[in-house]
Amino acid sequence: MSLCLVTGGAGFIGSHLVRRLLAEGHAVRVLDNFSTGHAANLAEVAGDIELVEGDIGDEHAAARCASGADTVFHLAARASVPRSVEFPVEANHANVTGTLILLVAAREAGVRRFVYSASSAAYGDTPTLPKVESMPPQPLSPYAVSKLAAEYYCSCFSHVYGLETISLRYFNIFGPRQDPRSAYAAAIPAFVSRMIRGERPVIYGDGEQSRDFCYVDNAVEANVLAMRAPRLSGEVVNIACGERITLNAIVALINQHLGSRLTPVYEPVRPGDVRHSLAALDAAQRTIGYRPGVMFAEGLARSLAWYRDSATRQATGS
């Protein structure tokens, strides 16, 4: 089997992808600077991978890690809208410059395919639903701008240099190992971690904003399908479930699972947040054969089970 480089492999989605690639018999090299990833996410497979602690913005680290790789899965990023609003230069350096350096390294190393983890934030807050890849992008935050710019670089490297690339526009990925501790934590881990402790969840806005939440196994499957697909040349496809749910409805579902009656604390809307999001999946199905395998309700139940088990382990020190 081939050698796969996974940037951000110690992170949430990356650590799930690493396990899948190992299960399929691939050799796996991980590049991570541990700014948001955690070594504990790879503890079970540490002896089966090559782990390089370094930054995608370091040309020498990027070149070393791309050498000999057949496929690069580029997941490393500063993945937070609020943080990007606070630190826009940091977002640009990590998400744009870092991606460009990695693309150059991949081209020079003769990598066959570059699979980029893009973001639905590129669509912005346009009222049209579902979001279709042919829509003009309208990014609202520095994060969204940076992820979109990296998409353009991927497409450019396909057309100018012949490097096969594809950009997977994720819609609100969630699941086990998603970190709830950050001040910029995503909605579901933030809700679940508080509610398990009996604390009220915090919603920014009125809670009627909706998202196309996508369980992490679907994102992993999309990456694997992108690796296997016939020749690619800079395509962009949505990765989601094709269904949406409001934040208020999610809190209600978590209450049902936990047997609680916790009501949200509503805070002002944060700059850069979009109101509604829903993905069209036709292009993903046509291009790489993607269909969601785990829908939201099942994904939420799996996630809750993991977070409850994790909380128990932490409480008992096991």
Which are the catalytic amino acids?
143
Token pair for 287: 């291009």
* Number of Cβ atoms within 10 Å of the Cβ of 207: 17
Alpha helices in 162-239 (DSSP H): 187-196, 216-228
Q: Is 191 exposed, middle or buried (0-12, 13-18, 19+ CB in 10 A)?
A: buried
Residues 244, 101: Cα–Cα separation, whole Å: 36
Residues 69/109, Cβ–Cβ less than 8 Å: yes
Token pair for 172: 């609100």
268-283: b (≥16 Cβ within 10 Å) or e: eeeebbbebbbbbbeb
Token pair for 251: 């809190």
Report the candidate in 133, 21, 25 with the shortest Cα–Cα distance to residue 75.
21
* Number of Cβ atoms within 10 Å of the Cβ of 225: 21
Q: What is the DSSP string of 159-201?
A: HHH--EEEEEEE--EE-TT----STT--HHHHHHHHHHTTPPP
Token pair for 54: 């370094």
Token pair for 164: 């096969």
Strands 210-211 and 245-246: antiparallel
Phi, psi of 12 (to 5 degrees): -60, -65
DSSP state at residue 271: T
The residue type found at 8 is G
Q: Would you call 76 helix, strand, or coil by DSSP?
A: coil
